[in-house]
Amino acid sequence: MHYPNGKKNNHTYQTLSSTRRSQGFSNRGMTLEEDINATNTYYRDRNKAIVHKKPTPVQIVNVHYPKRSAAVITEGYFKQPSTTDYNGVYRNKHIDFEAKETKNKTRFPLANIHEHQVRHMKSVTKHGGICFLIIRFSNFGETFYMPAEVFFPYWDEQLNGGKKSISYETIVEKGYPIPFHYQARVHYLAVIDQLYF
């Protein structure tokens, strides 16, 4: 496992399993999106970074009015494919990331990411932005930061007939654990600070 200071953790898989139990699940019941949104609010309130969730553009087609005071959308379509979930600015750098949560205990399915999102991430990276994925294994309560540059080879390999997922062990080895804090629940800036600043 890589830690933000660049040192490698030599724990075995068995040690990681026992670590999971001892970590506790202080944020159990919260979704990854809720945790990131709370973290981003904390960052903005303390003037650390400006990061927002991108709204998904939807075309409303049909609305039902069961009461005069209530409207129910009964039909709508996505106007266009969205890019990544979040973007913003931190320490004069554009940051852009996709957040995914999986209940799978052994792997992260690449079907969770879409081709247009990867194209967007490659473009951001090419132009010098900080781009990454936040992956949470919800059964373990573990959240990882995976740089886009590390993710791309796995994506490209599956397009050429390779594996359709990234193993949990690979994410532990090549990703960076994101520390949990009471207010910054998904404290990804701590990883960015170590990797880029």
* 83 is an annotated ligand-binding site residue: yes
Single-letter amino acid, residue 124: V
170: its two tokens: 């690979």
On whether 35 is known to bind a ligand per the annotation, the reply is no
- Look up tokens 């991430």; give the residue: 121
In DSSP terms, which residues pair with 142 in a beta bridge?
Answer: 137
Question: For residues 64 and 59, what is the distance between their CA atoms, to the nearest angstrom?
Answer: 15
Which residues are within 8 A (CB) of 19 and not within 5 positions of it... i.e. 6 or more apart? 11
Q: Roughly what angle, to the nearest 10 degrees, separates helices 148-159 and 115-126?
A: 140
**In three state form, how does the secondary structure of 45-62 look?**
HCCCCEEEECCCCEEEEE
Q: Which parts of 24-108 fold into alpha helices (H)?
A: 32-45
Report the distance separating Cα 80 and Cα 83, nearest Å: 9
Is 75 annotated in some ligand binding site?
Answer: no
Phi, psi of 113, rounded to the nearest 5 degrees: -110, 145
User: Which residues are annotated as part of the binding site?
Assistant: 83, 85, 98, 117
User: Which residues are annotated as part of the binding site for Mg(2+)?
Assistant: 83, 85, 98, 117
